């Protein structure tokens, strides 16, 4: 009888999943970020049903509802009264979708790490073999899903001492209008923002001899070396074309840098050599590398935890 009870106890223990300690010192269930989960989200967000997710369209409304439901299901709370940060561009109504994971430290939770990506795309593109829907899988459903998955991870694991905002923008393709609206609103509300990372096109891997990803504005802060230090490996490197093409100013990190004068960068694995379907109707889910995406997101977790849980604000602007 004792042996049977022991076996049952082991089965029950295993069925509960592997545990880890959260930032509050309590036991937390280990959270997996898998290629299968990423693919499932991608196949919806970049499906023809979304009609290319142009801001103001029926398709992007469906995408916004999907993100809201994902947040709600995974315990990511609205930062505002609802998940939506609404703005108008002429007759077009746009929505940023904003969720929050509160930090577990009584003091550090008042400081915020902002993670983001844009969930809009261009709608229609040049027709190819009867297809005119620009699905925007890499641009930027990939970055959107990275931010969502990281939000799920921290909401479930509770390993963040600082609070986290998951901010998903529309109207990026109209000139960073959504992120500009949200950054200004958060600044006016007095948000104590520490740093911001924008995930921009992370759906395909770089060449094996290159760093996993690169960071725009690499020399504008000490963000990249600290991120790599926290991760225990080189995740982000310097990419000369990022500076040549002024990518720092061309993605949703820039409005946050402008409003808060804080370290705010875009991270990408698209380097103009590894994906030929930018703003093209063939930017489809079947072109994405889901194992790469899962690997990238999982490698970002310890890097982000280091930043979220450091006793002081170690990431600072440089003099560039």
Query: pLDDT tens digits for 151-201?
Result: 999 999 999 999 999 999 999 999 999 999 999 999 999 999 999 999 999
Tokens 């690997």 locate to 295
pLDDT digits (tens, 9 = 90+) for 222-277: 999 999 999 999 999 999 999 999 999 999 999 999 999 999 999 999 999 999 99
Q: Give how far Cα 235 sits from Cα of 48, 125, 300, Å.
A: 33, 33, 8
Instruction: Look up the CATH architecture of domain 35-309.
Output: 3-Layer(aba) Sandwich (3.40)
For residues 53 and 169, is the Cβ–Cβ distance under 8 A?
A: no
Vertex 34 angle, CA 29 and 38, to 5°:
120
| Cis bond before residue 121 (omega within 30° of 0) | no
What mean pLDDT do residues 145-156 have? 98
Backbone dihedral region for residue 221 (phi beyond 0: left; psi -120 to 50: alpha; all else: beta): beta
pLDDT for 27 equals 47
Q: What is the enclosing helix (H) or strand (E) of 268?
A: strand 264-268
Q: Is the pLDDT reported for residue 4 higher than 70?
A: no
């Amino acid at each position: 009888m004792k042996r049977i009870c022991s076996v049952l106890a082991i089965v029950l223990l295993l069925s509960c999943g592997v545990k880890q300690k959260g930032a509050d010192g309590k036991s937390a269930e280990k959270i997996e970020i898998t290629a299968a989960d990423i693919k499932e989200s991608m196949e919806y967000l970049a499906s023809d049903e979304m009609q290319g997710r142009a801001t103001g369209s029926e398709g992007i409304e469906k995408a916004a509802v999907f993100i809201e439901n994902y947040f709600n299901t995974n315990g990511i709370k609205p930062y505002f009264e609802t998940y939506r940060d609404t703005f108008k561009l002429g007759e077009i109504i746009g929505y940023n979708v904003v969720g929050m994971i509160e930090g577990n430290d009584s003091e550090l939770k008042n400081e915020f790490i902002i993670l983001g990506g844009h969930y809009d795309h261009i709608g229609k593109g040049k027709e190819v073999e009867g297809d005119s829907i620009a699905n925007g899988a890499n641009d930027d459903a990939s970055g959107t899903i990275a931010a969502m998955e990281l939000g799920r991870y921290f909401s479930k694991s509770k390993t963040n001492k600082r609070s986290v905002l998951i901010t998903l923008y529309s109207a990026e393709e109209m000139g960073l209008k959504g992120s500009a609206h949200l950054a200004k609103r958060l600044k006016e509300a007095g948000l104590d923002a520490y740093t911001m990372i924008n995930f921009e096109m992370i759906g395909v891997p770089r060449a094996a001899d290159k760093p996993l990803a690169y960071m725009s504005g690499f020399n504008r802060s000490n963000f990249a070396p600290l991120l790599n230090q926290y991760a225990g490996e080189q995740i982000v490197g310097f990419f000369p074309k990022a500076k040549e093409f002024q990518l720092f100013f061309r993605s949703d990190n820039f409005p946050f840098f402008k409003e808060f004068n804080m370290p705010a960068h875009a991270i990408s694995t698209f380097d103009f050599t590894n994906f030929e379907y930018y703003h093209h109707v063939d930017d489809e889910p079947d072109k994405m590398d889901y194992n790469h995406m899962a690997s990238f997101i999982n490698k970002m977790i310890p890097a982000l935890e280091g930043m979220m849980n450091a006793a002081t604000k170690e990431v600072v602007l440089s003099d560039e």
